[in-house]
Amino acid sequence: TKWVYTFGDGKAEGAADMRELLGGKGANLAEMSSLGLPVPPGFTITTEVCTWYYANGQAFPEDLADQVAAALQHIGGIVGRQFGDAGDPLLVSVRSGARASMPGMMDTVLNLGLNDETVEAVATRAGDRRFAYDSYRRFIQMYSDVVLGVDHHNFEDILEVYKEGNGHDLDTDLSADDWQEIVTRFKALVEEQTGNPFPQSPELQLWGAIGAVFSSWMNQRAITYRRLHSIPESWGTAVNIQAMVFGNMGERSATGVAFTRNPSTGENELYGEFLVNAQGEDVVAGIRTPQDLTEKARIGSGSDKPSLESVMPNAFSEFVGICDVLEKHYRDMQDVEFTVEQDKLWMLQTRAGKRTAKAALRIAVELAEEGLLTKEEAVQRVDPVSLDQLLHPTIDPKAERQAIARGLPASPGAAQGEIVFDADEAEALKNEGRAVILVRVETSPEDIHGMHAAEGILTTRGGMTSHAAVVARGMGKPCVSGAGTLRVDYAAGTMTVGGTTLKRGDVITIDGTKGEVLLGKVAMLQPELSGEFASLMAWADAARRMKVRTNAETPADARTAREFGAEGIGLCRTEHMFFEEGRIIAVREMILADDEAGRRAALAKILPMQRQDFADLFEIMAGLPVTIRLLDPPLHEFLPHEDAELAEVAGTMGADIEKLRRRVQELHEFNPMLGHRGCRLGITYPEIYEMQARAIFEAAAEAATKTGSPVTPEVMIPLIATRAELDMLKDRIVAVAEAVNREKGVAVEYQIGTMIELPRAALHAAEIAETAEFFSFGTNDLTQTTFGISRDDSARFLAEYVEKGILPADPFVTLDQDGVGELVRIAADRGRSTRAGIKLGICGEHGGDPASIGFCETVGLDYVSCSPYRVPIARLAAAQAAL
């Protein structure tokens, strides 16, 4: 088997489309090499070796060693020095590289091949002992951390103590002798902690590093990350081994990272950071504050440190040209890493850059306008869920704001919440329903769960490409990084700036767009939905087949949904209207009444209010379809429980409070969700549905007269199990409709349909469709009844189901296509068999979930309906499903 693929010198055995085998990094290094870009020669050990390694008790295939040796020879031939040669050694980097970028895995070991002997050879060749020993101490630290398990803090402590003891401030102040002394101390530490001297054989070093990469695939952080991002364990990682180039070889050397477009805003400008005389990890680690790449950015940031453009103009202009080549080649914004070794530019990585939703949108639209993408491709480039970020608030410019600290605008948008300093605590408070801002000196992959839980992230160290910044942008969370004037004291649970001390639990607002930390809760604003958003949405609308409606019952929600592009209401839950101010009493009277006459008297009070509700909705929807569902929840949800409430109802009814209390007890149910609810209420108390139907038809008549455009209400009956239920209720509603039409002298058209929420209804859809004029899949209840899992109690155990791989996802979030989906398919097919072209929609929460929307397209539903804020997501997801 071929386990190893080489690249370098304008050639490569691999290519960009081989990422399954070579991992993302390896595939792109090969591609860049073939494009003739300056890539240090190297080779990739394939992901198949990782699979083999785990299938064979963490051993390597027998012929791997020979292939690695040959590949090392090959690189050695290109650069003119050999690995392990004591006189003129080839040093290498070792990096992991999964198919998808995966923080939490072993990342990088640089300068591998150094030992007490080769370090001297490197010093001689480079004519620079300081450089050689600086490289050696970095190697010992990285290697010991990731391969030998000696935590890097130990090394940093040694360095801090040494610098303090010798009056040095910056790493750059240290001389060759200083570094040599540090190396001695580092090696002593390793021996003390591991019981063995630091490995001197380059060969052993290399295999140690390769093993560490493969082992890190199964470490806890990597497993957690895969679970959060649905990355299968079977993918495995590749290992990339490359000839070293040195950004720390003096003042004519540098290392940096860049995005070919601004990853926060999407603006078409080179965007990045670099450090002179440094190695790769220094930039992301946030140890020194990096410098801007371009003069324009430097002027913008007000930095007094020169840009790459001004200090290394030749390398810079070559770099700009390469970025352009890469963008055109990959037809996407790239995130690249580079090193300049003594004025010579080297490319170390390229990949599609992570970006905010705002940037993703702008980049996709502009690439289409530049002709690099078609409109359909642009539509497919934007993750529908990420649009949520654009719909997030920003700080109201008119609001009073008291900035207590400033940092970098690492991820846009505003967020507010209680200060927490610990990721576990952030998660715990979030679970209690509290909003928190995670405040850390810097973040690491161990904090990911806390970052997920927090509304926003604030760090006191690190640049725009620090861990916190990159991860927050990916998650769409506002982030301010590197707010250096803040002092965080984890032990005391405080953060201090100037004379102000804030405690855990104090509320702050962060402005990730400006990079500011503000005291207290500052007023926020909803975003504008124009520009690129409007363009992309227009392209999406042109591409999709399914309509997108909204679940709304209040005028405010209905208006928001229309602004977001809703094409009607797919579910108006009328019971929500029953809780409104001034109504609940009448509703309680109705429920607690002894007989039909008592109920009718109470319903008469509710009728005008319901009519007004519907009239408002019809007016806002201006002729678009509106589906109104009749009363659904068990009646006890409306009942008074406290004595004061009971007394209030008793007062208005002139009834005895003890009698009411007994009635409340009578209404108690053991399983209300499976009890007296849905159409069962309409069967036993037909006057309730009749009142609602009357309110609907009277409002429709009124709205038609007022607006001049006809309204065709869709009356929907919930929780049907049998056709007989629907027949009976339909007759009554038709009678009301005819009565209203007669009374008002109008001819309001209407449809009567049903929700499909029970397996029995799905199975008997053929006969139900003979009565129902439309179906709307209530996949919340259908999931509940198909699984027999209570939707209100599932949170306690379903997470564990997903963790253990019993279910691929929470079926109340993403439709269970195998089970619930099968019932949807059956119902759609059988419904169409008796009523060709029956209108089909979905109004469960799944109507706003992209994966479920994809499924709806395959079943051929006519529309999806979702909450107002998910309407844009659904429009885009429906387009992607259709393309």
Annotated catalytic residue 679: no
Select from 332-340, 437-445, 745-753, 772-780 the region that touches ligand PEP (CB under 6 A).
772-780
Q: Interface with ligand PEP includes 51 (CB under 6 A)?
A: no
Cα 90–chain centre separation = 42
Cα-Cα-Cα-Cα torsion 36, 40, 43, 47, nearest 10 degrees, comes to -90
- Nearest Cα neighbor of 257 from 243, 247, 271, 241 is 271
Residue 468: both structure tokens together: 């916190």
Measured from the CB atom, the residue of 511 and 781 that comes closer to ligand PEP is 781
Q: 704 is written with which tokens?
A: 């038609």
The answer on whether 549 is annotated among ligand-binding residues is no
* Token pair for 374: 């078609």
Residue 611, marked binder: no
List all residues 6 or more positions away from 381 whose beta carbon is below 8 Å from its beta carbon: 332, 360, 363, 364, 367, 373
Tell me which of Mg ion, ligand PEP, none is bound by residue 589, counting a contact when its beta carbon lies within the kind-specific cut-off of 5 to 8 angstroms.
none
**Which lies closer to ligand PEP via its Cβ, residue 122 or residue 782?**
782
Residue 874 interface partner, choices ligand PEP, Mg ion, none, CB cut-off 5-8 Å depending on type: none
Residue 186 or 812 having the CB closest to ligand PEP = 812
Residue 166 labeled ligand binder: no
Smallest separation, CB 573 to Mg ion (Å): 9
573 binds ligand PEP (CB under 6 A): yes
Q: How far is the CB of 686 from ligand PEP (least distance, A)?
A: 21
Q: Which of 571, 704, 717, 758 forms a contact with ligand PEP (CB under 6 A)? A: 571
Residues with Cβ within 8 Å of 491's Cβ and at least 6 positions away in sequence, in order, are: none
Nearer to ligand PEP by Cβ, of 143 and 777: the residue is: 777
Q: How far is the CB of 717 from ligand PEP (least distance, A)?
A: 12
Which position's Cβ is nearest Mg ion?
Answer: 781
Contact status: 557 vs ligand PEP (CB under 6 A): no
Least Cα distance to 466 among 281, 296, 304, 307 occurs for 281
Q: How far is the CB of 870 from Mg ion (least distance, A)?
A: 18
Catalytic residue from among 467, 764, 846, 856: 467
| Contact track, Mg ion, 736-765, x by CB under 5 A | ---------------------x--------
Are 580 and 609 in contact by the 8 Å Cβ rule? The answer is yes
For Mg ion, give the closer residue by CB, 366 or 757. Answer: 757
Q: Is 654 helix (H, G, I), strand (E, B) or coil?
A: coil
* Stretch in the footprint of ligand PEP (CB under 6 A) among 250-258, 373-381, 720-728, 773-781: 773-781
CB of 756 to ligand PEP, least distance (A): 9
Exposure of 581 in the CB half-sphere (CA atoms within 13 A): 0
> Is 151 annotated as belonging to a binding site?
no
Site for ligand PEP in 841-880 (CB under 6 A): 843-844
The least distance separating ligand PEP from the CB of residue 660, rounded to whole angstroms, comes to 28
782 neighbors 757 (Cβ within 8 angstroms): yes
Query: Binding mask 707-746 vs ligand PEP (x if CB under 6 A, - otherwise)?
Result: ----------------------------------------
Helices (H), 197-312: 202-216, 220-228, 281-285, 295-301, 308-311
Interface characters, 671-710, with ligand PEP (x: CB under 6 A): ----------------------------------------
The yes-or-no answer on residue 467 being catalytic is yes
- Long-range contacts made by residues 668-672, C-beta under 8 angstroms, separation at least 24? 668/636, 669/634, 669/636, 672/633, 672/634, 672/636, 672/637
* From ligand PEP, Mg ion, none, interface partner of 844 (C-beta below 5 to 8 A by class): ligand PEP
CB atoms within 10 A of CB 506: 15
Minimal distance in Å, beta carbon 757 to Mg ion? 5
Active-site residue, selected from the candidate residues 50, 479, 572, 843: 843
Contact partner, 474, from ligand PEP, Mg ion, none, Cβ < 5-8 Å per class: none
Phi-psi domain of 130 (left: phi exceeds 0; alpha: psi -120 through 50; beta: other) = alpha
Q: Following DSSP, what letter does each residue of 73-107 receive, concatenated?
A: HHHHHHHT-EET-SSSEEPEEEEEEESS--BTB--
Q: Are 478 and 510 in contact (CB under 8 A)?
A: yes
Phi, psi of 801 (to 5 degrees): -60, -40
C-beta closer to Mg ion: residue 778 or 841 = 778
Q: Taking CB under 6 A as the criterion, which residues in 786-845 touch ligand PEP?
A: 843-844
| Stretch touching ligand PEP by CB under 6 A, among 1-9, 92-100, 530-538, 774-782 | 774-782
Q: Which residues pair with 456 in a beta bridge?
A: 437
799, 816, 848: which is closest to 228 by C-alpha?
Answer: 799
**Is residue 66 classed exposed, middle or buried when 0-12, 13-18 and 19+ CB atoms within 10 A define those classes?**
exposed
φ/ψ bin of 331: left (φ > 0), alpha (ψ from -120 to 50), beta (otherwise): left
**Is 331 annotated as contributing to ligand binding?**
no
Stretch that binds ligand PEP, among 220-228, 247-255, 654-662, 776-784 (CB under 6 A): 776-784
The string of DSSP letters for 51-75 reads: HHHHHTTS---TTHHHHHHHHHHHH
The nearest distance, CB 842 to ligand PEP, in angstroms, is 8
Identify which of residues 282 and 757 has a Cβ nearer to Mg ion in the complex: 757
Q: Which of 193, 554, 780, 814 binds ligand PEP (CB under 6 A)?
A: 780
Query: Closer to ligand PEP at the Cβ: 332 or 757?
Result: 757
- Please tell me whether residue 757 binds ligand PEP under the rule CB under 6 A: yes
Residue 335, contacted partner among Mg ion, ligand PEP, none, CB below 5-8 A by kind:
none
**Could you tell me which residues come within 8 angstroms of residue 684 by beta carbon, excluding any fewer than 6 positions away?**
676
| One of 447, 781, 845, 849 touching Mg ion (CB under 5 A) | 781
Cα–Cα distance measured from residue 883 to residue 114, given in angstroms and rounded to the nearest whole number: 53
112's enclosing H/E stretch is strand 108-112
CB 147 within 8 A of CB 176: no
Stretch that binds ligand PEP, among 12-20, 292-300, 775-783, 806-814 (CB under 6 A): 775-783
Closest distance to ligand PEP from the beta carbon of 401 (Å):
40
Residue with tokens 């009056």: 167
> In this chain, which of 180, 255, 466, 779 binds ligand PEP, going by CB under 6 A?
779
571 binds, among Mg ion, ligand PEP, none (CB under 5 to 8 A by kind): ligand PEP
- Cβ neighbour number for residue 858 with a 10 Å cutoff: 11
Give the count of residues interacting with ligand PEP (CB under 6 A).
10
Strands 479-481 and 547-551: unpaired
Q: How many residues bind Mg ion (CB under 5 A)?
A: 3
The residue within the footprint of ligand PEP, chosen from 282, 619, 781, 816 (CB under 6 A), is 781
The residues facing 629 across adjacent strands are 573, 716
For residues 275 and 755, which CB has a smaller minimum distance to ligand PEP in the complex?
755
Q: Is 778 in the site for ligand PEP (CB under 6 A)?
A: yes
The contacts of residue 219 (CB under 8 Å, 6+ apart) are 104, 105
- Binding-site residue positions for substrate: 573, 629, 757, 778-781
By annotation, the residues acting in catalysis are: 467, 843
Q: Residue positions in the annotated binding site?
A: 573, 629, 757, 778-781
Residues in touch with ligand PEP (CB under 6 A): 571, 573, 632, 757, 778-781, 843-844
What does the binding site for Mg ion look like in residue numbers (CB under 5 A)? 757, 778, 781
Annotated binding site for Mg(2+): 757, 781
